[in-house]
Amino acid sequence: MKWSQCHIYTSKEAPADAEIASHKLLVRGGYLKKLAPGIYTYSHLLLRSIRKFEALIRDELNRCGCTEVLMPVVHPSSLWEETGRWTEMGAGLLKFQNRNQHWFCLAATHEEAVTDYIRHDIKSYRDLPRNIYQIQTKYRDEIRPRFGLMRCREFIMKDAYSFDANQADALKSYEQMYAAYKAIFSRLGLEFRIVQADAGNIGGSQTHEFQVLAEAGEDSLLVSTSSDFAANIEVAPAIDPESVKESTEVFLPIEKFPTPNLKTIAQLSEALQIKKSELVKTLFYSTNEGFDPKDKSLKPIAILLRGEDDANPVKIKNVLGLVNPPLMLTDEEVKEVTGAWPGSCGPVELKIPIYMDTGVSKLKNFIVGANEDGFHLKNVNESRDFKATQIADLRMAKEGDLCPSGQGVLKAYRGIEVGHVFYLGTKYSKKMQATFLDKNGKAQPLEMGCYGIGVTRTVQAAIEQSHDVDGIVWPKSIAPFHVHICALDVKNEKLMALVRQVEYELEASGLEVLVDDRDERPGVKFKDADLLGMPIRISIGARGLEAGEVEVVERKNKVVHKVAPQEVVAKVQSLIKEL
Ligand code: ATP
Ligand code: MG
Torsion angles phi and psi, residue 159, rounded to 5: -125, 130
pLDDT > 80? residue 203? no
Number of other CB atoms surrounding residue 527 within 10 Å:
16
Pick from 42, 133, 417 the residue to mutate for probing ligand 1's pocket: most ligand atoms within 8 Å of its CB: 417
Phi/psi class of residue 20: alpha, beta or left (left: φ > 0; alpha: ψ in -120 to 50)?
A: beta
Kindly state the helix (H) or strand (E) to which residue 568 belongs, with its residue range: helix 568-578
Closest ligand relative to 151 C-alpha = 1
Question: Which atom of ligand 1 has the smallest separation from the CA of 140?
Answer: 27
The span from the CA of 521 to the CA of 512, in Å, is 24
- Distance, C-alpha 112 to centroid of its chain: 22
- Closest to 320 (Cα-Cα) out of 289, 290, 347: 289
What digits encode the pLDDT tens for the residues 317-355? 999 999 999 999 999 999 999 999 999 999 999 999 999
Nearest protein Cα to ligand 1, atom 4: 151
255 Cβ partners below 8 Å, 6+ apart?
A: 377, 378, 379
What digits encode the pLDDT tens for the residues 558-569? 999 999 999 999
Burial class from Cβ neighbours inside 10 Å (0-12, 13-18, 19+) for residue 462 reads: buried
Ligand 2 centre distance from Cα of residue 477 (Å): 24
Q: What is the pTM of this model?
A: 0.93
**What is the reported pLDDT for 202?**
67
- Longest Cα–Cα distance in the chain: 96
In contact, 439 and 206? CB cutoff 8 Å = no
Q: Count CA atoms within 13 Å of residue 32 on its CB side.
A: 28
pLDDT > 70? residue 113? yes
Q: Looking at residues 457-484, what average pLDDT do you find?
A: 98
The span from the CA of 41 to the CA of 26, in Å, is 11
| C-alpha dist (Å) from residue 115 to 122, 140, 386, 435 | 10, 20, 48, 10
The span from the CA of 381 to the CA of 348, in Å, is 9
417: β partners: 211
- Closest to 444 (Cα-Cα) out of 459, 426, 424: 426
* Upstream peptide bond of 404 is cis (omega within 30 degrees of 0): no
**What is the reported pLDDT for 248?**
78
Nearest protein Cα to ligand 1, atom 18: 419
Q: Looking at residues 143-163, what average pLDDT do you find?
A: 97
What digits encode the pLDDT tens for the residues 258-300? 999 888 999 999 998 998 888 999 999 999 988 888 888 999 9
Ligand 2 centre distance from Cα of residue 159 (Å): 12
What digits encode the pLDDT tens for the residues 404-449? 998 899 999 999 999 999 999 999 999 999 999 999 999 999 999 9
Closest ligand relative to 415 C-alpha = 1
**What is the reported pLDDT for 199?**
84
What digits encode the pLDDT tens for the residues 406-416? 889 999 999 99
Question: Which atom of ligand 1 has the smallest separation from the CA of 159?
Answer: 14
Q: Which sign does the torsion angle of CA 98, 101, 106, 110 carry? A: negative
Closest ligand relative to 156 C-alpha = 1
**What is the reported pLDDT for 296?**
87
78 Cβ partners below 8 Å, 6+ apart?
A: none
What Rg, from alpha-carbon coordinates, does the chain have?
Answer: 29
Mean pLDDT of the chain: 95
Question: Which atom of ligand 1 has the smallest separation from the CA of 109?
Answer: 10
**What is the reported pLDDT for 174?**
97
Pick from 54, 146, 157, 422 the residue to mutate for probing ligand 1's pocket: most ligand atoms within 8 Å of its CB: 157
3-state secondary structure 404-417: CCCCCEEEEEEEEE
Ligand 1 centre distance from Cα of residue 450 (Å): 13
Q: Which sign does the torsion angle of CA 201, 202, 208, 214 carry? A: negative
| C-alpha dist (Å) from residue 96 to 105, 110, 329 | 6, 18, 30
Ligand 1 centre distance from Cα of residue 417 (Å): 7
Kindly state the helix (H) or strand (E) to which residue 302 belongs, with its residue range: strand 300-306
Q: How confident is the model at residue 244 (pLDDT cuts 50, 70, 90)?
A: low
The span from the CA of 231 to the CA of 218, in Å, is 14
Ligand 2 centre distance from Cα of residue 210 (Å): 9
- Closest to 302 (Cα-Cα) out of 363, 369, 372: 369
Question: Which atom of ligand 1 has the smallest separation from the CA of 197?
Answer: 6
Q: Looking at residues 107-116, what average pLDDT do you find?
A: 98
Torsion angles phi and psi, residue 8, rounded to 5: -110, 125
DSSP 280: E
Ion ligand 2 residues within 5 Å by Cβ: 420
| C-alpha dist (Å) from residue 139 to 142, 153, 471, 498 | 9, 5, 29, 47
What digits encode the pLDDT tens for the residues 44-66? 999 999 999 999 999 999 999 99
pLDDT > 90? residue 461? yes
Q: What is the DSSP string of 448-485?
A: EEEEEEEHHHHHHHHHHHSEETTEE---GGG-S-SEEE
Query: Any residues with Cβ below 6 Å from ligand 1, and which?
Result: 109, 140, 142, 151-152, 155, 157, 200, 202, 417-420, 452, 454, 457
Q: Looking at residues 30-36, what average pLDDT do you find?
A: 97
